[in-house]
Structure 1
Amino acid sequence: MTTTRSGRIVLDPFVGDLDGESARLRAAGPLAEVELPGGVPVLAVTRHAEARQLLTDRRLVKDITVWSAWQRGEIPEDWPLIGLANPGRSMLTVDGEDHRRLRALVAQALTPRRVEMLRERVGELTVGLLDALAAHTPDEVVDLKAEFAYPLPMYVVSELMGIDAADHPRLKVLFEKFFSTQTPPEEVGATLMELGGMMRQVVEARRAAPGDDLTSALILASEDGDRLTDEEIVNTLQLMIAAGHETTISLIVNAVVNLSAHPGQLALVQEGKAGWDAVVEETLRWSTPTSHVLIRFATEDIPVGDKVLAQGDALIVSHAAIGRDEEAHGPTAGAFDLTRSPNRHLAFGHGPHVCPGAALSRLEAGVALPALYGRFPGLRLAVAPSELRNKPVVTQNDLYALPVRLGETARSE
């Protein structure tokens, strides 16, 4: 559970009560003093308005060398979150012109038109996974995360980036270690090295045999004079795979949990009184897939409310707290409500570093969820919502498993 130490809110590395922890963060004000796993102190922005302001503030940068604690040698190389705080040179860790250059190349592959062209393929993959689920009996307990919510986005992002499906099992293991707060210190470096090695193998394979994928496009751009180094290509590939599947897995899982826990809201959708787009957006707000985003660093003092983010301080963005901010969403911010309008949230970030894959994630969930409930309209949780357990990942709102009973398959008309 969340505790306090020296006036700081200590984030629970096991994520035992994310809702309660988020409420305590909001109560601490727009800028809360927190402690990350490993005893690392940072500050967290917890309110919608202040987060929007800070996410566009040029005094906050991604360069870890600005961090005073890093300069003093207080952040060990085997810190469990080092791969998220200092993941190497990519569009996640640079600012200004370098960021625009790297992001533009990724954005070319994820334009609204190109994302929409993926709809048919996402639909095909969804139908295949639903066909496999239909082999289960109606009352059999099925892990919907393992059999549906995980493979769909992993297949999609792998095809987008040119990853062989044979690599999926090992990537699953490595990314679980990458995100977890419980990865043993002696395994942190080895995990990062193996992930980097796998990404370099993909780059080498695509360089030898280019395809219609983003990795090949990044390689071609570097050869055409866009000055991408192999390090930037490898790190961008790793970033896109990590962000491209984890967020969508949690979005699909959380939507199913929310609809199961709020049958009245599910009825609105099944009766046509609310759309599946509302399910996606309210899930993004109310149970955002990304609980805390690491890290930005202040190049000078920045006032936030009645506090100051001092030069050299590190800032995390606490999306789980921000999503239920009553100042932004009114007195019903704590309710899951598909009729909420407007529904402006920050689940995919804001400003220059807003998630470039947001449209793709929305498309995947927007295809997967209606198809899932269309095939299995009686789908329900096999356990009480209180029995679902979060994985020990402070950055992701991620469950170990999603046990459900599918119920009868819908009859064809």
Structure 2
Amino acid sequence: MQPDDSLLVLDPTGSDAHAEHRALHARGPATLVDLLGVQAWSVSDPTLLKQLLVGKDVSKDARAHWPDFATVAPTWPLALWVSVENMFTAYGGDHRRLRRMISPAFSARPIGALAPTVEALVTRLLDDIAASGDDVVDLREKLALPLPIMVIAQLMGVPEDQSAGFRRLVDGVFTTTLSRDEATANAASLYRLLDELIARKRAAPAEDLTSFLIAVRDKEGDDRGLSDAELRDTLLLMISAGYETTGNAIDQAVTLLLTHPGQLAHVRQGRAGWNDVVEEALRLEPAVKHLPLRYAVNDVPLPDGRVIPKGAPVLASYAAANRHPSWHRDPDEFLVTRADKDHLAFGHGVHFCLGAPLARLEVATALDMLFERFPDMALAVPVEELRPVPSLISNGHEQLPVRLYGAA
């Protein structure tokens, strides 16, 4: 089959992501797409994507490896995704330096120590849901999103009076229907909130990750230190990555279980565990569909004979890769007993998500406690009426209405 060289325009509203995945598959391992006005090579073949993510052929440093960065960034709605200065966009030695600074906080021991905290927060949220007296509740609003922002707020030391502001502004970062002016205003408000957090922690440091990073930044002569921009953008990364994506993962896992009662029965009858649910849900409906951007450090030959030219943007299309027919049998089916649930929901290679263990803990805990508390829970609307969040990046629903005590 000859590759399709026409330009596929990605839908900024994410209205039919599954059809878009199939279109990407049909165009070969990589294809040119329009990403809100920027032409990029979307890679949806999992084998090729893994090769690129572990090799040195692509970089996430736009300033160093994207020749059009200076001209595109000022007018592009997704500029924040490529212009931040933290480990998300770092390359080589800078990436290793920044990641090494954060990684101890997300290793097995400290994340395991957070389990009682996560359980207590889930209990608090479920108690609030039960106490409301409502039969129908929006689980995205009442559980999926509040839990991760509460957890990351504790980890980062974000005061309670700032949490709501961060949540609202991070939502704007993941929304891909904002105009450039709206996106710029949202980013400016987010940085003002970050500066306020830094000032408060400098004045009154505590045992939290924000205070630790500020201390590293302010330690003169320390070659492991952070610049002012790296400090702000590292805090931005920690807060945003620890919130929106985990909320989507809870949202999607609940939706899949409520629409696949046979799979839920496997869990209740001991044929699968909650961790199996988490991994299969992440494979089928990852929290992030497409992740901007990487850049070809040199010409990258493709399996079909084409070439991604040096300097060209590369889009990791994780959701399409997870469903690629070459990877899993029945890739569009939700099967919690599937033996191989391997996926790219947390990325791959040197940029693999540091927060993966924490996200897995939160999602598994939320599911376990939710379905124990409300065993007869059901969707309050047909699944076809659930609307996706308006984003080609974020993969969740605008609302997730459920009947706590079963169908009406």
- TM-score of the aligned structures, taking structure 2 as reference length: 0.94
Instruction: Return the offset for 1:230.
Output: 2.0
1:276 alignment partner AA = W
Alignment partner, residue 201 of structure 2: 206
Alignment partner, residue 68 of structure 2: 69
1:180 equivalent to 2:175? Answer yes
1:244 equivalent to 2:242? Answer yes
Where do residues 390-401 of structure 1 align in structure 2 (5 Å cutoff)?
Answer: 390-401=388-399
Instruction: Return the offset for 1:168.
Output: 2.3
Alignment partner, residue 83 of structure 1: 80
Where in structure 2 are there 5+ consecutive unaligned residues? none
1:289 equivalent to 2:287? Answer yes
RMSD over aligned CA atoms reads 1.5
Where do residues 262-341 of structure 1 align in structure 2 (5 Å cutoff)?
Answer: 262-306=260-304, 307-330=306-329, 332-341=330-339
Q: Deviations over 1:148-194 (max 9, x none)?
A: 11100000001111111211222222122222122233222221111
Alignment partner, residue 33 of structure 1: 32
Alignment partner, residue 116 of structure 2: 120
Contact 1:282-1:336 at 8 Å conserved across structures: yes
Instruction: Return the offset for 1:11.
Output: 0.8
Alignment partner, residue 11 of structure 2: 12
Give me the whole-angstrom Cα distance separating, in 1, the residues matched to 2:287 and 2:362: 14
- 1:228 is aligned, of 226, 229, 236, to 226
Give me the whole-angstrom Cα distance separating, in 1, the residues matched to 2:225 and 2:124: 40
Alignment partner, residue 411 of structure 1: none
- TM-score of the aligned structures, taking structure 1 as reference length: 0.93
- Look up the SS of the partner of 2:362 in the other structure: helix
- Look up the SS of the partner of 2:68 in the other structure: helix
Aligned residue pair count: 398
Give me the whole-angstrom Cα distance separating, in 1, the residues matched to 2:132 and 2:195: 39
Give me the whole-angstrom Cα distance separating, in 2, the residues matched to 1:284 and 1:102: 27
Give me the whole-angstrom Cα distance separating, in 1, the residues matched to 2:311 and 2:179: 28
2:228 alignment partner AA = D
Q: Deviations over 1:295-325 (max 9, x none)?
A: 0011210112212111010001111101111
- Look up the SS of the partner of 2:242 in the other structure: helix
Instruction: Return the offset for 1:103.
Output: 0.5
Give me the whole-angstrom Cα distance separating, in 1, the residues matched to 2:201 and 2:172: 26
Contact 2:145-2:247 at 8 Å conserved across structures: yes
Q: Deviations over 1:365-400 (max 9, x none)?
A: 111110000000111111111111111111110211
Give me the whole-angstrom Cα distance separating, in 1, the residues matched to 2:28 and 2:172: 32
Give me the whole-angstrom Cα distance separating, in 2, the residues matched to 1:248 and 1:172: 13
1:162 equivalent to 2:157? Answer yes
Alignment partner, residue 145 of structure 1: 140
Give me the whole-angstrom Cα distance separating, in 2, the residues matched to 1:216 and 1:263: 45
Task: Identify which range, 389-398 or 246-255, moves more after superposition.
Answer: 389-398
Instruction: Return the offset for 1:97.
Output: 1.3
Alignment partner, residue 401 of structure 2: 403
1:100 equivalent to 2:96? Answer yes
Instruction: Return the offset for 1:77.
Output: 1.7
1:228 alignment partner AA = L
Give me the whole-angstrom Cα distance separating, in 2, the residues matched to 1:402 and 1:392: 15
Task: Identify which range, 176-185 or 232-241, moves more after superposition.
Answer: 176-185
Alignment partner, residue 378 of structure 1: 376
Instruction: Return the offset for 1:76.
Output: 4.9
1:195 alignment partner AA = L
- The sequence identity of aligned pairs, in percent, is 39
Alignment partner, residue 345 of structure 2: 347
Give me the whole-angstrom Cα distance separating, in 1, the residues matched to 2:281 and 2:10: 22
Give me the whole-angstrom Cα distance separating, in 2, the residues matched to 1:283 and 1:110: 22
Q: Deviations over 1:336-370 (max 9, x none)?
A: 10111122111101111110000000000111110
Contact 1:78-1:189 at 8 Å conserved across structures: no
**1:258–1:239 CA distance, 2 compared to 1 (3 A):** same
Give me the whole-angstrom Cα distance separating, in 1, the residues matched to 2:183 and 2:296: 27
Contact 2:13-2:389 at 8 Å conserved across structures: yes
